[in-house]
Structure 1
C-alpha cells in the first residue's frame, strides 16, 4: 500500500490532514470538534493539497451550493428571520464535506480516517455498555455513551457499524482481530440502546449487503430469527415487537408528526416554515389527538427538511446523497466489483448512506451534529479517492 503521505507534501499539508482527522475523532465532544473544525477551515489556504479539478468536484459541489443557497433563501423568507438565522450555522457544519477532498487524498488516508471512526465507535460502545453498571439499560434510562441522547449514540454507532461490516465482508482485512472485537461491542451497544430506528436501518442494510455479497445466506434468516427469539432478553423482544404496534404511543406520536409536517409542506412548499421554527409552529399544525403538544422536531429527516426549508431543499439533500452513491457505485463497478481492491470503501459508502437515510425516516439524524459530521465525510469519501486518482494521472500530452 502507498505511504500515508507523499514525499512532495509539505508539513503544512500533512498538518491539514491531521487537523481534519482530529475534528472527526473528537466527535464525542462537539465543542472540541467544532474548535478543531474551525482551525481546519482557517488553515485551509495553507494546508490544502493541489487544487482538485472542477470536473471531479462538480457533481457534489453543485447540489451542496444549491442546498446552501436555499438555506439562505429559507432564512430570508422565514416568518421570523432573526430566529431562523441560527440555521445558518449549518454552513460551518458542511465544511466537513467541502474540505475533505482538499485534505484527505488517496486510499491510505481514507482508510485511516475510517479506522479512526470505527475504533472510536468501539471505545464509545464500551463506555455505553459500562453504563449498565450504573443503573442504565432499561427503556427509561437508556445507555448513551458520552452523548446527551441515546439516539445520537445509536446514530453514530450505526454509521460506523456499516463501514465496519463492509470492511469485513468486502476486504481481505477481515482477518484483523480488533475488527471482530469492535463488531461485537458496537452491535451489543446498538441492541442495548433500545433504539428501534437503528435496528430497522441495520436489519434492512444488512439484507441489502448480504443480497449483494452472498444471496444464499438470506436462507439463514429464518433459523437465525428463531435462534434470536430463543436467546434474546424479553425487554429487547418486546421493544422489537413494538416497532409494528400502532397502539404504541411513540409510534402514534410519529404518525401525528407526519400529518403535521405534511400540512406545513402543503402550506409553504418552497421555503418551508423557516429554519428552527418547526418546534414553534408544531402546536398550530398538530392533530388534536397528538400525544404531545410540543416536539423538538418531526423525528424524520426528510419531512423535517421539507417542512422547515421547503421541497427544493429536500431535493438538494437527496441529490447530494444520490451523487455520492452514484460515484461510489461507479467506482465499485469500474474496479471489478466485490473483488476490487477498494470494494469495501465503495460498499461502505453505499451501505452507510442507506442506513443513515433509513434511520432518518424515524429520527432527524441530519439535524444531529454528532451524527451528521461522520456522514458528511462518507459523502465526501468517493471524491477523496477520485481527487487522488486525477492527481496521479500525468498531464495530457505527456
Structure 2
C-alpha cells in the first residue's frame, strides 16, 4: 500500500533523470551555454525576488491591470531563465501536476462554448502558473525565502493597521455585507485597501500563519517580538472583517499548525508528552474558541448565523448561486466551460435564479468543476495531495536536523489548508491579491523538495553500448 501511495505522489520519481532524456527539455534548455557568460543571469535569483516582491507589495494598493503587467514581465523573465537552465533543474512532482492541470485547462478552453473569453481566463491561469514557477525557484534559497516572507508580512501589517483604523473611525459599507435583519446590520466591517471584508480576510490568513511561525524562525528577541506584534494585529483585523469564511480558514489552518508545531517539538519530549501533547493542544485551542464565542457577542452572532440556513440573506444568496452552478456542472461535467470569470459570467445568466446575479461560483471546488470539469477538479486535488505529501516528507527531514527553515514549511502547509477551507464558501482567491498568496504557499512547499537518490550513473551504464569482452 505504501508503494502505491509513493507512486501516486511521485515520491520515488527521479525527475532530473527523466528531464535529461527528454527531447523537449533539451530543446527548451538550448540556451544553457549562454548562461555562463551572461552578467545579467548571474543575478537571476535576486532579480526574480525583486519581481515577485513587487507583486506582493503592490497587490493590495494598485489596480488589477498593473498586477497583470507585472505578471507579464515575470513571464518574460521566466522564459529567459527556462531556456538557459540545465534540463530538469528545480523540477518537482508539483510542477508536473500543475502542468497537467494547465493542459486540461487548455483542452477545456479549446472546447469551451465561449472560447474567446475562456482564452482570457486561460491566459491569466498561465501567468499565475509561471508566477509559481519563478517563486519555487527563488524560494530555494533560505536567505531569499526569509526576505520574501518578511516583505509580505510587513506589507500585511500596513494593510491591517489601516483596517483597524477603519474600525475606530468608521468606514462606509460599499455593499450589503450583513443581513439587514441581523443585530449586526449597523456594525462596521473593515476592508482596508482591498475594498471588501471577505477579500481582506483571505489576504490576512497567510500573514497570521506565517507571522505565527516567524516567532520561532526568526532569531533575536526583537524580531520575535515584531512577529508576535504582527500576528496579534493581523488576527485582530481579521476578526474585525466579520468574514465567516476567513474565520473558517483561520480555525482549520490553526488546527493544522498546532498539530505540526507540536509534532515538530515532540522530538525533545518524554513519551507521555509525545502521546498526549497533540490531544491536549487541540483541546486547549477548542477551549479558547469556546470562550471567545461565549464572551464576544459579534463573534457569537456571526458564527451562529452560519447555521440559520436560508434565514440569513448571505446564506440564502450562496445557496441559490450553488444550485445554479450545480446545473452548469451537470450540463458540462467532463471539461467544463473553460477557465476564467469571464467564461463564468457568459454562461451563468442562462442558469441563474431571478435576482441572484453572481460573478463566481462562491466556492472554489464548484468553480474548478465549472471551469475544467471533474477531470480538472480531480487533477487539482491530486496536486494538493501530492503537495501536502511532499511537504510532510520535507518536514520530517528538516525535523531530524532541527533546521529552523521547517517553520516556514509548517506555515505554508497550514496556510494552504486555511485558504482552501475559506475557498469552500467563497472565491476571493481568484482575485490577484489572494491568488498570488495561494501560489506563494504552493511554491514554498515546492522549494523544499529534494529528489530521491539519483540513479544517473546506473542509467548511463544501461544506456551505454555494450563493450566487447577483453
Structure 1 partner of 2:7: none
Q: How does 1:189-200 map to 2 (within 5 A)?
A: 189-200=237-248
Task: Indicate whether 1:151 and 2:202 are aligned.
Answer: no
RMSD: 3.1
Query: What is the number of residues matched between the two proteins?
Result: 382
Task: Indicate whether 1:19 and 2:51 are aligned.
Answer: yes
Task: Indicate whether 1:177 and 2:243 are aligned.
Answer: no
Q: How does 1:1-398 map to 2 (within 5 A)?
A: 10-11=42-43, 13-28=45-60, 29=62, 30-44=64-78, 51=85, 54=88, 56-88=90-122, 89-136=124-171, 139=177, 142-168=189-215, 176-212=224-260, 213=262, 214-215=277-278, 216-221=280-285, 223-225=287-289, 227-229=291-293, 231-232=295-296, 234-246=297-309, 247-275=311-339, 276-286=342-352, 292-336=355-399, 339-386=402-449
TM-score normalized by structure 2?
A: 0.73
Q: Which has the higher Rg, Structure 1 or Structure 2? A: 2
Structure 1 partner of 2:26: none
Q: Rate the CA distance shift 1:241–1:13 in 2: closer, same or farther, 3 A.
A: closer
Contact 1:137 1:193 in 2 (8 A): no
Contact 2:413 2:445 in 1 (8 A): no
CA distance in structure 1 between the partners assigned to 2:155 and 2:283 by the alignment: 34
CA distance in structure 2 between the partners assigned to 1:374 and 1:338 by the alignment: 28
Uncovered stretches (5+) of structure 2, i.e. residues with no partner: 1-39, 179-187, 263-276, 459-470
Structure 2 partner of 1:4: none
Q: Rate the CA distance shift 1:248–1:333 in 2: closer, same or farther, 3 A.
A: same
Describe the SS at the equivalent of 2:146: helix
Q: Rate the CA distance shift 1:255–1:230 in 2: closer, same or farther, 3 A.
A: closer
Q: Rate the CA distance shift 1:336–1:112 in 2: closer, same or farther, 3 A.
A: same
Describe the SS at the equivalent of 1:297: coil
Alpha-carbon deviation of 1:113? 0.9
- Structure 1 stretches of 4+ moved >4 Å: 45-50, 137-141, 169-175
Q: Decide which moves more: 120-129 or 133-142.
A: 133-142
Contact 2:255 2:282 in 1 (8 A): yes
Q: Rate the CA distance shift 1:56–1:10 in 2: closer, same or farther, 3 A.
A: closer
Q: Decide which moves more: 61-70 or 192-201.
A: 61-70
Contact 1:13 1:48 in 2 (8 A): no
Q: Decide which moves more: 173-182 or 71-80.
A: 173-182
CA distance in structure 2 between the partners assigned to 1:274 and 1:179 by the alignment: 42
Residue deviations 1:177-224 (CA, integer Å, cap 9, x gap): 111110111011101111000101111221232234242233334542
Residue deviations 1:327-368 (CA, integer Å, cap 9, x gap): 211110122269443221221121011001100101113422
CA distance in structure 2 between the partners assigned to 1:144 and 1:287 by the alignment: 29
Describe the SS at the equivalent of 1:54: coil
Q: Decide which moves more: 245-254 or 131-140.
A: 131-140
Contact 1:137 1:192 in 2 (8 A): no
Alpha-carbon deviation of 1:173? 6.7
